[in-house]
Chain A
């Protein structure tokens, strides 16, 4: 079941939560709504579910407008951030709820319900917990019960609001890989909301990056990461260095560094480029004339890469990530004057002047 979001606008008093948002979610894909808190991603999810009514716009399920249809009739599976399990019911009763509230004629017989619940509990690896109450489960287990409960009604779409937000880092990683595998198994069109870019890029087929009530970019994770459409997306998807300088002879000058501009951009008077920390390198000697000077301020060697913070010759803070081997070879100690190089001369990076973050 595909979902089309068409020109959705939603205001809460003077605050505009969503402004003219349009989004296509293809059948069977797992899509992340990614953005900082307050960007409208949860509101959009709730509007898709029918828990919130848009001020204007359409929500199409497989081409059919459901924007005026009640949440009850939409047949969506919704997983709440804080699980919202029925606290007085056992795990079994929670999962069975969506089936037992059906009108008598559509309700499956008792043992069919029992079989379905047992299958779902096996799917979420909780078959031995059927008689427990939600309070007797860990956070990760509760989240899986919430997921099983949502899947019990055979939803046309599965919506998850910050599904791993309330869990600790380790459980979170396990659970998101598990969700990915689960999605590959059941293939129901799914949308999940997250503020964690790593989570979105790792789990989703497509990521929609949102900011201040708008969708900034939607694309495959590698597209939004390597080819950000706006400065906001660039910034949001990881650390970034912003360089601004004059354009001379069709090249951007930053210190002694000359950067080739993309086609058709060479007639600008000045330009801004965005460079990720791992696209820069550090040297003790000016082995390449294309460089600028900087001084190391802080080094954090813990982790898979070494994070170096520097101050450039013009006083800006620069972030560089080095491999452990490179760091060993350089033998950086304390505050050192160094030369910073761009690993790739030909900038394919986003380099327009229109908006700066």
Chain B
């Protein structure tokens, strides 16, 4: 893949004369973009932290360390971990199948992968309630086993996996399509097994795309509200994830605590953005690490 120089930053010499505009046009566009950015992103972000700290650092720490908040953090992390692992396995398998093989029904699979993007998360949650709830279709199957899915952590994991499962596959499919199958063919002709080919040829080629998908998947898993809200039942300390905990606190007019917990999610978002930029930057120059022992011409 040719590297696009989109992270080079702006420089006036890089813009050909034909596409350069008068100064007032340029300033106008930049101004509009900045105004939107501040109004819709920066101001709310700052507001979260201002409200979170309005009763002082002590109240902030108390709000994020009380047992219910701690339980919500734990459940969120567990859910995220499971969702990310499952999505990596599914995403790599789906992308591999779609880009390296021809089989009937391939287009349907590609369309199905996008389904969670097309369906409102609340509907996804409802579907799981209809399937696994007390009178659900699959209730006769799971009840004798003593499994509880709806209003239990298992349901939250299911809903989260459903909502996030396009992320890794979507990231990998175009990347693997662009890379083609020649390197894999070369590996197999040289005697590598399927597993060796995957580990030693395919995986190193897709690692940055995979990481990018994992980051997006993590962010969405932690922040998912709609689908999780429907299946959770909001049992404090048991089935509350961070976003649900924020909602409960807010509905109890406990604004400072609500924003304190929300600030945790905001920090996760900022960390995600940073990680995403680093990965995007690294994947633009994939030889950076490997070039250490290479002599330059």
Q: Does the CB pair A84–B192 fall under 8 Å?
A: no
Residues in B neighbouring A135, C-beta threshold 8 A = 287
Q: Once the chains are docked, how many angstroms separate the CA of A71 from the CA of B191?
A: 8
Interface membership of chain A positions 50-85, coded 1 if the CB is closer than 8 angstroms to chain B and 0 otherwise: 110000000000000000001110111110101011
- Known contacts A84-B182, A88-B204; is A76 also within 8 Å of B294 by CB? no
Interface size on A, residues (CB 8 A): 32
Q: Does the CB pair A101–B196 fall under 8 Å?
A: yes
Q: Does the CB pair B182–A80 fall under 8 Å?
A: yes
| Most chain B CB within a 10 A radius of its CB, from A74, A135, A152 | A135
Identify A101's interface contact among B192, B204, B290, CB under 8 A: B192
Q: Once the chains are docked, how many angstroms separate the CA of A108 from the CA of B200?
A: 19
Q: Does the CB pair B186–A86 fall under 8 Å?
A: yes
Query: Does A20 interact with chain B (Cβ within 8 Å)?
Result: no
Query: Does A23 interact with chain B (Cβ within 8 Å)?
Result: no
Q: Once the chains are docked, how many angstroms separate the CA of A90 from the CA of B292?
A: 11
Q: Once the chains are docked, how many angstroms separate the CA of A132 from the CA of B295?
A: 7
Query: Does B143 interact with chain A (Cβ within 8 Å)?
Result: no
CB distance from B292 to the nearest CB of A (A): 10
A-facing residues in B266-297 (Cβ within 8 Å): 286-287, 290-291, 293-295, 297
Q: Does the CB pair B294–A133 fall under 8 Å?
A: yes
CB distance from A298 to the nearest CB of B (A): 41
Residues in B neighbouring A86, C-beta threshold 8 A = 183, 186-187, 200-201
Query: Does B190 interact with chain A (Cβ within 8 Å)?
Result: yes
Identify B189's interface contact among A78, A90, A136, CB under 8 A: A78
Residues in A neighbouring B290, C-beta threshold 8 A = 88, 90, 133
Query: Does B38 interact with chain A (Cβ within 8 Å)?
Result: no
Q: Does the CB pair B295–A97 fall under 8 Å?
A: no
Q: Once the chains are docked, how many angstroms separate the CA of A56 from the CA of B159?
A: 49
Interface membership of chain B positions 192-216, coded 1 if the CB is closer than 8 angstroms to chain A and 0 otherwise: 1100100011001100000000000
Query: Does A87 interact with chain B (Cβ within 8 Å)?
Result: yes
Q: Once the chains are docked, how many angstroms separate the CA of A72 from the CA of B197?
A: 11
Residues in B neighbouring A50, C-beta threshold 8 A = 189
**Which applies to chain A's interface (DSSP): helix, strand, loop or mixed?**
loop
Residues in B neighbouring A88, C-beta threshold 8 A = 204-205, 286, 290
Residues in B neighbouring A150, C-beta threshold 8 A = 189-190
Q: Once the chains are docked, how many angstroms separate the CA of A97 from the CA of B185?
A: 13
Query: Does A313 interact with chain B (Cβ within 8 Å)?
Result: no
Q: Does the CB pair A136–B190 fall under 8 Å?
A: no
Query: Does A11 interact with chain B (Cβ within 8 Å)?
Result: no
Q: Does the CB pair A51–B192 fall under 8 Å?
A: no
Q: Does the CB pair B191–A90 fall under 8 Å?
A: no
Query: Does A149 interact with chain B (Cβ within 8 Å)?
Result: yes
- Known contacts A82-B182, A88-B205, A90-B294; is A133 also within 8 Å of B189 by CB? no
Q: Once the chains are docked, how many angstroms separate the CA of A49 from the CA of B188?
A: 11
Interface membership of chain A positions 89-131, coded 1 if the CB is closer than 8 angstroms to chain B and 0 otherwise: 0100000011001100000000000000000000000000001
Residues in A neighbouring B204, C-beta threshold 8 A = 88
Query: Does A229 interact with chain B (Cβ within 8 Å)?
Result: no
Of all chain B residues, the one with the shortest Cβ separation from A97 is: B190
Of all chain B residues, the one with the shortest Cβ separation from A91 is: B294
Q: Once the chains are docked, how many angstroms separate the CA of A20 from the CA of B190?
A: 29
| Most chain A CB within a 10 A radius of its CB, from B191, B193, B201, B286 | B191
Q: Does the CB pair A76–B189 fall under 8 Å?
A: yes
Q: Does the CB pair B287–A153 fall under 8 Å?
A: no
Q: Does the CB pair A131–B293 fall under 8 Å?
A: yes
Residues in A neighbouring B286, C-beta threshold 8 A = 88
CB distance from A303 to the nearest CB of B (A): 36
Residues in B neighbouring A49, C-beta threshold 8 A = 189
Q: Does the CB pair B190–A153 fall under 8 Å?
A: yes
A-facing residues in B161-202 (Cβ within 8 Å): 182-183, 185-193, 196, 200-201
- Known contacts A72-B192, A97-B192, A101-B196; is A136 also within 8 Å of B294 by CB? yes
Of all chain B residues, the one with the shortest Cβ separation from A73 is: B191
Q: Does the CB pair B294–A72 fall under 8 Å?
A: no
CB distance from B134 to the nearest CB of A (A): 52
Residues in A neighbouring B186, C-beta threshold 8 A = 78, 80, 84-86, 149
| Most chain A CB within a 10 A radius of its CB, from B187, B193, B205 | B187
Of all chain B residues, the one with the shortest Cβ separation from A146 is: B186
Between A and B, 13 residue pairs with Cβ closer than 8 Å are: A51-B185, A51-B189, A72-B189, A80-B182, A80-B186, A86-B201, A88-B290, A97-B187, A101-B196, A131-B294, A132-B295, A136-B294, A149-B190
B residues near A, CB below 8 A? 182-183, 185-193, 196, 200-201, 204-205, 286-287, 290-291, 293-295, 297
Q: Known pairs A98-B190, A101-B187. 13 more at Cβ < 8 A? A: A74-B189, A87-B183, A88-B290, A97-B192, A98-B192, A101-B192, A132-B295, A135-B287, A136-B297, A149-B186, A149-B190, A150-B190, A153-B191
Q: Which 5 A-B pairs have the closest CB atoms?
A: A98-B190, A84-B182, A101-B192, A84-B186, A88-B204
